[in-house]
Amino acid sequence: MKNLFALSELSAVDINNILDEAISFKNGKEFRELQGKTVVNLFFENSTRTHYSFIAAQHNLGMIDTNFNASASSIKKGESLYDTIKTFESLGFDAFVIRHPQNNYFKDLKGINVPVMNGGDGTGNHPTQSLLDLMTIKEEFGDLKGLKITIIGDIRHSRVAHTNIQVMKRLGIEVYISGPKEFDDGSAEYIDVEKAVKEMDIIMLLRVQYERHGYEIQMSKSDYLLKYGLNMERVKKMKPSAIIMHPAPFNRNTELSDEVVECKKSRIFKQMANGVFVRMAVLKRAFEV
């Protein structure tokens, strides 16, 4: 069995193998060996893409999904995450997908003997999001080495940014960050938005995570868009081959204007589609010896 907690645990070869497998699934590869295996999806934070693309991936593989409802469970009586997962293991379930607000929650799961896949932990890791981002970039450009990306926005609170910055640097992508200085946590070199727009192969926008930090930045949505967001005026300054990404959900007319969401350069919905294939590859890997 193979857990997937953080991409830092995987070699570049492992990562490329997952991406190649995901691309094979996208190209129609059949795989029935997980048919009938049971998986519990436990989301302790809201999710649309990660949760439901894991479900789609499970259905595509013939797996049987169970979706945990924390608010109707014994978590409400004080049961710990470990005891909850151990309970499901003892009931005979074969695998778990977990999203949890606590950074590195998976460090508390050392006694679990079935695979766990991390659907996001606090501001720490979001491995399957980064994998689907890498898949989308690989499909677009082929080789990742030498590409330039700027991730713009709420870097400090973003598990997507933290995971992507680490893994992308490791795979030879030149990574920059931009956006409000309050969100610069020093995890990559800072670059001005206007310069980034002209020079990058990829502009990745992040959502302002109002629910994590309230209105820490005292700025209206329209001011944010003007200073740090992508509108069509900025899109027109991008290189002809450059693309726009966003892990979503996005705040329309904050980090990007309405017209940018589905403009020619946007790969936002392609990222979501690729999420299903990446998660199929991750589920397949989870059961490998």
**For residue 94, which amino acid is it?**
D
Instruction: Decide: 265 and 46 in contact? Cβ < 8 Å.
Output: no
- 48 or 222: whose CB is closer to ligand CP? 48
Q: CB nearer to ligand CP: give 24 or 47.
A: 47
Which part of the chain contacts ligand CP (CB under 6 A), choosing from 13-21, 41-49, 185-193, 195-203? 41-49
Q: Are residues 130 and 7 in contact, defined by beta-carbon separation less than 8 angstroms?
A: yes
| Cis preceding-peptide flag for 249 (omega within 30 of 0) | yes
Supply angle C-alpha 187, 4, 26, rounded to 5.
95
Which of 16, 47, 187, 231 forms a contact with ligand CP (CB under 6 A)?
47
Distance CA 77, CA 181 (A): 42
For ligand CP, which is the closer residue by CB, 120 or 229? 120
Structural contact between residues 230 and 272, judged by C-beta atoms closer than 8 angstroms = no
Among 6, 248, 281, 286, binds ligand CP (CB under 6 A): 248
Rounded least distance, CB 233 to ligand CP, Å: 27
Residue at token pair 């302790």: 44
**129 is a contact residue toward ligand CP (CB under 6 A):** yes
Complex with ligand CP: residue 52 or 287, whichever CB lies closer: 52
Q: Specify the 3-state DSSP secondary structure of 190.
A: strand
Stretch that binds ligand CP, among 45-53, 56-64, 90-98, 103-111 (CB under 6 A): 45-53
Provide the binding-site residues for ligand CP, judged by CB under 6 A.
47-51, 120, 129, 247-249
